[in-house]
Protein backbone atom coordinates (compact mmCIF):
# COMPACT_ATOMS: atom_id res chain seq x y z
CA UNK A 1 0.00 0.00 0.00
CA UNK A 2 1.38 3.41 -0.99
CA UNK A 3 1.12 6.10 1.65
CA UNK A 4 1.82 9.83 1.90
CA UNK A 5 2.98 11.42 5.13
CA UNK A 6 2.64 15.20 5.42
CA UNK A 7 5.07 16.79 7.86
CA UNK A 8 3.37 20.06 8.82
CA UNK A 9 6.28 21.52 10.80
CA UNK A 10 5.48 24.95 9.35
CA UNK A 11 1.74 24.44 8.93
CA UNK A 12 -0.30 23.23 5.98
CA UNK A 13 -2.17 25.11 3.26
CA UNK A 14 -3.74 24.11 -0.03
CA UNK A 15 -1.06 25.56 -2.29
CA UNK A 16 1.69 24.07 -0.12
CA UNK A 17 0.06 20.63 -0.40
CA UNK A 18 -0.09 20.77 -4.20
CA UNK A 19 3.47 22.12 -4.36
CA UNK A 20 4.76 19.29 -2.16
CA UNK A 21 3.09 16.64 -4.33
CA UNK A 22 4.49 18.17 -7.52
CA UNK A 23 7.91 18.35 -5.87
CA UNK A 24 7.60 14.65 -4.99
CA UNK A 25 7.06 13.75 -8.64
CA UNK A 26 3.37 14.18 -9.47
CA UNK A 27 3.04 14.62 -13.26
CA UNK A 28 2.74 18.40 -13.58
CA UNK A 29 1.24 18.55 -17.13
CA UNK A 30 -1.34 15.90 -16.15
CA UNK A 31 -2.18 17.80 -12.96
CA UNK A 32 -2.57 21.10 -14.81
CA UNK A 33 -4.72 19.40 -17.48
CA UNK A 34 -7.03 18.05 -14.79
CA UNK A 35 -7.35 21.49 -13.24
CA UNK A 36 -8.04 23.02 -16.67
CA UNK A 37 -11.00 20.66 -17.03
CA UNK A 38 -12.72 22.42 -14.10
CA UNK A 39 -13.44 25.27 -16.50
CA UNK A 40 -12.37 28.07 -14.15
CA UNK A 41 -10.19 29.79 -16.75
CA UNK A 42 -7.31 29.89 -14.26
CA UNK A 43 -3.64 29.51 -15.17
CA UNK A 44 -1.12 27.57 -13.13
CA UNK A 45 2.57 27.82 -12.32
CA UNK A 46 4.92 25.49 -10.48
CA UNK A 47 8.25 27.12 -9.68
CA UNK A 48 11.30 25.82 -7.85
CA UNK A 49 12.14 28.09 -4.92
CA UNK A 50 14.54 28.02 -1.98
CA UNK A 51 13.44 28.53 1.63
CA UNK A 52 16.16 28.66 4.28
CA UNK A 53 18.46 26.61 2.10
CA UNK A 54 15.87 23.96 1.20
CA UNK A 55 14.57 23.65 -2.36
CA UNK A 56 10.86 23.19 -2.86
CA UNK A 57 8.03 23.89 -5.31
CA UNK A 58 5.66 26.83 -5.12
CA UNK A 59 2.29 26.25 -6.75
CA UNK A 60 0.42 29.35 -7.91
CA UNK A 61 -3.07 29.85 -9.33
CA UNK A 62 -3.60 32.96 -11.49
CA UNK A 63 -7.11 34.11 -12.36
CA UNK A 64 -9.27 37.17 -12.82
CA UNK A 65 -11.03 38.55 -9.73
CA UNK A 66 -14.48 37.05 -9.30
CA UNK A 67 -17.14 38.61 -7.08
CA UNK A 68 -19.50 35.65 -6.74
CA UNK A 69 -19.36 33.11 -3.95
CA UNK A 70 -19.97 29.48 -4.76
CA UNK A 71 -22.08 27.11 -2.71
CA UNK A 72 -21.18 23.48 -2.12
CA UNK A 73 -23.62 21.99 -4.70
CA UNK A 74 -22.12 24.19 -7.44
CA UNK A 75 -18.57 23.18 -6.51
CA UNK A 76 -19.52 19.49 -6.43
CA UNK A 77 -21.02 19.78 -9.94
CA UNK A 78 -17.81 21.40 -11.20
CA UNK A 79 -15.74 18.54 -9.80
CA UNK A 80 -18.06 15.80 -11.11
CA UNK A 81 -18.04 17.32 -14.62
CA UNK A 82 -14.24 17.62 -14.74
CA UNK A 83 -11.95 15.10 -16.43
CA UNK A 84 -10.53 13.60 -13.27
CA UNK A 85 -10.00 10.06 -11.91
CA UNK A 86 -12.94 8.91 -9.82
CA UNK A 87 -10.94 8.57 -6.60
CA UNK A 88 -9.60 12.10 -7.04
CA UNK A 89 -13.16 13.36 -7.46
CA UNK A 90 -14.30 11.53 -4.31
CA UNK A 91 -11.42 12.91 -2.29
CA UNK A 92 -11.96 16.48 -3.50
CA UNK A 93 -15.70 16.34 -2.75
CA UNK A 94 -14.99 14.90 0.69
CA UNK A 95 -12.59 17.74 1.48
CA UNK A 96 -15.21 20.31 0.50
CA UNK A 97 -17.89 18.52 2.53
CA UNK A 98 -15.71 18.51 5.64
CA UNK A 99 -14.84 22.17 5.11
CA UNK A 100 -18.48 23.06 4.51
CA UNK A 101 -19.57 21.33 7.71
CA UNK A 102 -17.05 23.35 9.71
CA UNK A 103 -18.02 26.66 8.08
CA UNK A 104 -21.71 25.88 8.62
CA UNK A 105 -21.14 25.26 12.31
CA UNK A 106 -19.08 28.44 12.70
CA UNK A 107 -21.67 30.64 10.98
CA UNK A 108 -24.77 28.87 12.29
CA UNK A 109 -26.28 27.98 8.90
CA UNK A 110 -26.97 24.79 6.96
CA UNK A 111 -24.19 23.40 4.80
CA UNK A 112 -26.25 24.13 1.67
CA UNK A 113 -26.32 27.84 2.55
CA UNK A 114 -22.62 28.21 3.28
CA UNK A 115 -20.95 30.85 1.13
CA UNK A 116 -17.43 29.54 0.74
CA UNK A 117 -15.82 33.01 0.55
CA UNK A 118 -12.12 32.43 -0.05
CA UNK A 119 -12.79 28.68 -0.19
CA UNK A 120 -15.23 29.13 -3.03
CA UNK A 121 -12.74 31.27 -4.90
CA UNK A 122 -10.94 29.83 -7.88
CA UNK A 123 -7.55 29.41 -6.20
CA UNK A 124 -8.97 27.40 -3.30
CA UNK A 125 -11.00 25.16 -5.60
CA UNK A 126 -7.86 24.47 -7.63
CA UNK A 127 -5.81 23.89 -4.47
CA UNK A 128 -8.23 21.26 -3.14
CA UNK A 129 -8.75 19.51 -6.46
CA UNK A 130 -5.02 19.76 -7.16
CA UNK A 131 -4.23 18.06 -3.85
CA UNK A 132 -6.66 15.22 -4.58
CA UNK A 133 -5.34 14.82 -8.12
CA UNK A 134 -1.69 15.00 -7.03
CA UNK A 135 -2.25 12.14 -4.60
CA UNK A 136 -3.88 10.10 -7.37
CA UNK A 137 -1.06 10.78 -9.83
CA UNK A 138 1.40 9.47 -7.22
CA UNK A 139 -0.76 6.40 -6.58
CA UNK A 140 -1.30 7.24 -2.90
CA UNK A 141 -3.78 4.97 -1.10
CA UNK A 142 -3.60 6.43 2.43
CA UNK A 143 -2.63 9.78 3.91
CA UNK A 144 -1.02 10.40 7.30
CA UNK A 145 -0.23 13.74 8.92
CA UNK A 146 2.18 14.88 11.63
CA UNK A 147 1.17 17.00 14.59
CA UNK A 148 0.18 20.29 12.93
CA UNK A 149 1.78 23.67 13.58
CA UNK A 150 -1.17 26.07 13.47
CA UNK A 151 0.68 29.29 14.11
CA UNK A 152 -0.63 31.92 16.52
CA UNK A 153 -1.76 35.52 16.78
CA UNK A 154 -4.54 36.92 14.59
CA UNK A 155 -5.42 37.07 10.90
CA UNK A 156 -7.56 39.36 8.75
CA UNK A 157 -10.57 37.59 7.23
CA UNK A 158 -13.83 38.54 5.47
CA UNK A 159 -15.56 38.86 8.85
CA UNK A 160 -12.78 40.91 10.46
CA UNK A 161 -9.84 40.03 12.71
CA UNK A 162 -9.88 36.40 13.85
CA UNK A 163 -7.68 34.44 16.26
CA UNK A 164 -5.29 31.81 14.96
CA UNK A 165 -6.22 29.05 14.48
CA UNK A 166 -9.38 30.50 13.00
CA UNK A 167 -12.73 29.08 14.23
CA UNK A 168 -13.12 26.86 11.15
CA UNK A 169 -9.53 25.60 11.36
CA UNK A 170 -9.93 24.81 15.07
CA UNK A 171 -13.09 22.82 14.39
CA UNK A 172 -11.47 20.92 11.55
CA UNK A 173 -8.51 19.97 13.74
CA UNK A 174 -10.56 19.01 16.81
CA UNK A 175 -9.17 15.78 18.22
CA UNK A 176 -5.96 16.12 16.20
CA UNK A 177 -2.52 16.89 17.71
CA UNK A 178 -1.65 20.58 17.16
CA UNK A 179 0.83 23.10 18.50
CA UNK A 180 2.03 26.66 17.83
CA UNK A 181 5.69 27.41 17.16
CA UNK A 182 7.63 30.03 15.25
CA UNK A 183 6.22 33.20 13.68
CA UNK A 184 3.13 34.84 15.14
CA UNK A 185 0.92 34.37 12.09
CA UNK A 186 -1.45 31.89 10.49
CA UNK A 187 0.51 28.81 9.39
CA UNK A 188 -2.40 26.41 8.84
CA UNK A 189 -5.32 27.62 6.71
CA UNK A 190 -8.87 26.22 6.69
CA UNK A 191 -8.15 24.68 3.29
CA UNK A 192 -5.03 22.93 4.57
CA UNK A 193 -6.82 21.81 7.74
CA UNK A 194 -9.69 20.42 5.64
CA UNK A 195 -7.30 18.39 3.48
CA UNK A 196 -5.70 16.92 6.60
CA UNK A 197 -8.99 16.28 8.40
CA UNK A 198 -10.77 14.75 5.40
CA UNK A 199 -7.97 12.51 4.17
CA UNK A 200 -5.82 11.83 7.25
CA UNK A 201 -5.98 8.18 8.31
CA UNK A 202 -3.74 8.92 11.28
CA UNK A 203 -1.91 11.79 12.98
CA UNK A 204 1.42 11.91 14.79
CA UNK A 205 4.68 10.11 14.06
CA UNK A 206 5.26 8.63 10.59
CA UNK A 207 3.86 5.13 10.04
CA UNK A 208 6.25 2.29 9.27
CA UNK A 209 7.19 2.85 5.63
CA UNK A 210 9.92 2.56 3.04
CA UNK A 211 10.43 6.11 1.72
CA UNK A 212 10.55 6.30 -2.07
CA UNK A 213 10.12 10.03 -2.74
CA UNK A 214 10.13 13.29 -0.81
CA UNK A 215 8.89 16.74 -1.69
CA UNK A 216 8.60 20.23 -0.24
CA UNK A 217 5.73 22.61 -0.98
CA UNK A 218 6.41 26.29 -0.44
CA UNK A 219 4.19 28.93 1.09
CA UNK A 220 4.31 32.50 -0.17
CA UNK A 221 5.54 34.18 3.03
CA UNK A 222 9.14 34.44 4.20
CA UNK A 223 9.86 33.82 7.88
CA UNK A 224 13.09 34.87 9.60
CA UNK A 225 13.49 31.79 11.78
CA UNK A 226 12.13 28.82 9.81
CA UNK A 227 11.44 27.54 6.32
CA UNK A 228 7.86 28.11 5.19
CA UNK A 229 7.55 24.61 3.71
CA UNK A 230 5.34 21.54 3.93
CA UNK A 231 7.18 18.24 3.52
CA UNK A 232 5.65 15.07 2.08
CA UNK A 233 7.12 11.58 2.26
CA UNK A 234 5.84 9.05 -0.28
CA UNK A 235 6.46 5.34 0.13
CA UNK A 236 5.22 1.82 0.69
CA UNK A 237 4.10 0.41 4.00
CA UNK A 238 6.80 -1.81 5.47
CA UNK A 239 6.56 -4.97 7.52
CA UNK A 240 8.85 -3.49 10.15
CA UNK A 241 7.60 -2.79 13.62
CA UNK A 242 5.86 0.55 13.71
CA UNK A 243 7.22 3.27 15.98
CA UNK A 244 4.50 5.62 17.16
CA UNK A 245 4.48 8.43 19.68
CA UNK A 246 1.90 7.93 22.42
CA UNK A 247 0.86 9.53 25.68
CA UNK A 248 1.09 7.69 29.00
CA UNK A 249 -1.48 8.78 31.59
CA UNK A 250 -0.88 7.61 35.17
CA UNK A 251 -2.67 8.04 38.46
CA UNK A 252 -2.16 6.55 41.94
CA UNK A 253 -5.45 5.58 43.59
CA UNK A 254 -5.82 4.34 47.18
CA UNK A 255 -9.50 4.84 47.97
CA UNK A 256 -11.45 3.21 45.12
CA UNK A 257 -12.97 -0.25 45.24
CA UNK A 258 -11.96 -2.97 42.75
CA UNK A 259 -15.40 -2.68 41.16
CA UNK A 260 -14.92 1.06 40.53
CA UNK A 261 -11.45 0.52 39.08
CA UNK A 262 -12.69 -2.32 36.88
CA UNK A 263 -15.47 -0.12 35.53
CA UNK A 264 -13.00 2.73 34.95
CA UNK A 265 -10.84 0.36 32.90
CA UNK A 266 -13.83 -0.62 30.77
CA UNK A 267 -14.79 3.03 30.17
CA UNK A 268 -11.22 4.01 29.22
CA UNK A 269 -10.97 1.18 26.69
CA UNK A 270 -14.41 2.03 25.30
CA UNK A 271 -13.28 5.65 24.84
CA UNK A 272 -10.30 4.61 22.71
CA UNK A 273 -7.41 3.87 25.09
CA UNK A 274 -4.74 1.74 23.43
CA UNK A 275 -4.26 -0.19 26.68
CA UNK A 276 -5.09 0.11 30.38
CA UNK A 277 -3.31 -1.65 33.24
CA UNK A 278 -3.87 -1.77 37.00
CA UNK A 279 -0.80 -2.41 39.16
CA UNK A 280 -0.60 -2.80 42.95
CA UNK A 281 1.69 -0.21 44.58
CA UNK A 282 2.56 1.09 48.04
CA UNK A 283 2.01 4.81 48.48
CA UNK A 284 2.83 7.33 51.22
CA UNK A 285 2.58 6.02 54.79
CA UNK A 286 2.75 2.48 53.39
CA UNK A 287 -0.82 2.65 52.13
CA UNK A 288 -1.60 -0.04 49.53
CA UNK A 289 -2.99 1.44 46.34
CA UNK A 290 -3.33 0.93 42.61
CA UNK A 291 -1.38 2.53 39.77
CA UNK A 292 -3.72 3.12 36.83
CA UNK A 293 -1.75 3.42 33.59
CA UNK A 294 -3.38 4.40 30.30
CA UNK A 295 -1.72 4.33 26.86
CA UNK A 296 -3.34 6.81 24.48
CA UNK A 297 -3.00 8.36 21.06
CA UNK A 298 -1.95 12.03 21.39
CA UNK A 299 -5.28 13.23 20.01
CA UNK A 300 -7.17 11.19 22.64
CA UNK A 301 -5.18 12.45 25.62
CA UNK A 302 -7.60 15.06 26.97
CA UNK A 303 -10.71 12.93 26.51
CA UNK A 304 -9.17 9.98 28.34
CA UNK A 305 -7.80 12.21 31.10
CA UNK A 306 -11.35 13.46 31.69
CA UNK A 307 -12.61 9.86 31.91
CA UNK A 308 -9.87 8.96 34.39
CA UNK A 309 -10.71 11.94 36.60
CA UNK A 310 -14.44 11.27 36.39
CA UNK A 311 -14.42 7.52 36.99
CA UNK A 312 -11.78 7.29 39.76
CA UNK A 313 -11.10 9.21 42.95
CA UNK A 314 -7.74 10.56 41.79
CA UNK A 315 -7.15 14.31 42.04
CA UNK A 316 -4.25 14.42 39.59
CA UNK A 317 -2.82 12.69 36.54
CA UNK A 318 0.76 12.44 35.31
CA UNK A 319 1.13 12.66 31.53
CA UNK A 320 4.29 11.78 29.64
CA UNK A 321 5.30 11.01 26.08
CA UNK A 322 6.67 7.64 25.01
CA UNK A 323 7.51 5.75 21.83
CA UNK A 324 5.55 2.59 21.11
CA UNK A 325 6.73 -0.19 18.81
CA UNK A 326 3.93 -2.09 17.12
CA UNK A 327 4.57 -5.14 14.96
CA UNK A 328 2.87 -5.12 11.56
CA UNK A 329 -0.29 -7.20 11.71
CA UNK A 330 -3.32 -8.17 9.68
CA UNK A 331 -6.71 -9.80 10.22
CA UNK A 332 -7.89 -12.99 8.53
CA UNK A 333 -11.39 -14.43 8.88
CA UNK A 334 -11.76 -18.16 9.53
CA UNK A 335 -15.02 -20.10 9.42
CA UNK A 336 -15.39 -22.53 12.34
CA UNK A 337 -18.22 -24.95 13.07
CA UNK A 338 -19.50 -22.39 15.57
CA UNK A 339 -19.26 -19.33 13.32
CA UNK A 340 -16.80 -16.80 11.90
CA UNK A 341 -13.78 -15.66 13.93
CA UNK A 342 -11.19 -13.03 13.07
CA UNK A 343 -7.58 -14.11 13.51
CA UNK A 344 -4.95 -11.50 14.37
CA UNK A 345 -1.86 -12.43 12.32
CA UNK A 346 1.64 -11.07 12.98
CA UNK A 347 4.88 -12.59 11.82
CA UNK A 348 4.58 -16.36 12.09
CA UNK A 349 1.90 -16.33 14.77
CA UNK A 350 -1.85 -15.92 14.87
CA UNK A 351 -4.39 -15.50 17.67
CA UNK A 352 -8.21 -15.48 17.65
CA UNK A 353 -9.94 -12.21 18.48
CA UNK A 354 -11.33 -12.53 22.01
CA UNK A 355 -14.56 -10.61 21.35
CA UNK A 356 -15.46 -12.85 18.39
CA UNK A 357 -14.83 -15.97 20.45
CA UNK A 358 -16.80 -14.66 23.41
CA UNK A 359 -19.74 -13.78 21.18
CA UNK A 360 -19.81 -17.30 19.72
CA UNK A 361 -19.39 -18.90 23.15
CA UNK A 362 -22.38 -16.97 24.48
CA UNK A 363 -24.45 -17.74 21.38
CA UNK A 364 -23.69 -21.48 21.26
CA UNK A 365 -23.17 -22.33 24.93
CA UNK A 366 -19.77 -23.82 24.12
CA UNK A 367 -16.79 -23.19 26.43
CA UNK A 368 -14.72 -20.21 25.39
CA UNK A 369 -11.58 -22.33 25.24
CA UNK A 370 -13.26 -24.61 22.68
CA UNK A 371 -14.00 -21.67 20.40
CA UNK A 372 -10.38 -20.53 20.70
CA UNK A 373 -9.11 -24.00 19.88
CA UNK A 374 -11.46 -24.43 16.90
CA UNK A 375 -10.47 -21.08 15.35
CA UNK A 376 -6.77 -21.80 15.81
CA UNK A 377 -7.13 -25.26 14.26
CA UNK A 378 -8.97 -23.93 11.18
CA UNK A 379 -6.34 -21.23 10.66
CA UNK A 380 -3.44 -23.69 10.98
CA UNK A 381 -5.09 -26.11 8.57
CA UNK A 382 -5.41 -23.41 5.93
CA UNK A 383 -1.99 -21.90 6.52
CA UNK A 384 0.11 -24.91 7.39
pLDDT, tens digit, for every residue of 68-79? Answer: 667 888 899 999
Q: Measure the CA–CA gap between 83 and 79, rounded to whole angstroms.
A: 8
- The number of C-alpha atoms within 13 Å of 20 and in the hemisphere containing its C-beta is 28
Confidence (pTM): 0.69
- The number of C-alpha atoms within 13 Å of 55 and in the hemisphere containing its C-beta is 7
Stretch 235-257: mean pLDDT: 83
> Does the pLDDT of residue 117 top 60, yes or no?
no
Q: Measure the CA–CA gap between 101 and 107, rounded to whole angstroms.
A: 10
> Does the pLDDT of residue 349 top 90, yes or no?
no
pLDDT at position 118, please? 46
Q: 204: buried, middle or exposed (CB in 10 Å: 19+, 13-18, 0-12)?
A: middle
Phi, psi of 272 (to 5 degrees): 110, 10
> Does the pLDDT of residue 112 top 70, yes or no?
no
pLDDT at position 157, please? 75
Q: 230: buried, middle or exposed (CB in 10 Å: 19+, 13-18, 0-12)?
A: buried
How far is C-alpha 91 from the chain's CA centre? Answer: 14
Q: Measure the CA–CA gap between 167 and 190, rounded to whole angstroms.
A: 9
Architecture of domain 243-326: 2-Layer Sandwich (3.30)
Domain ranges within the chain, ordered by starting residue: 2-240, 243-326, 330-382
Amino acid sequence: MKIAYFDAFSGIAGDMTVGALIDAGADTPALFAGLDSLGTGARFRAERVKKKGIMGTQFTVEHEDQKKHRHLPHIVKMIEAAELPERAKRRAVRIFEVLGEAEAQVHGVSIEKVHFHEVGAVDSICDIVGAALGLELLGVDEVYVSAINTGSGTVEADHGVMPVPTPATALLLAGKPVYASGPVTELTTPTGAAIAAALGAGFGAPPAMVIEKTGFGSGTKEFPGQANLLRVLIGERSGASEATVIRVLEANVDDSTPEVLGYAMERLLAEGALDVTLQPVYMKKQRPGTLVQVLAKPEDQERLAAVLLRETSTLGIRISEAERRVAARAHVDVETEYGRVRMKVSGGGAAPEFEDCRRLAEATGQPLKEIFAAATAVYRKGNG
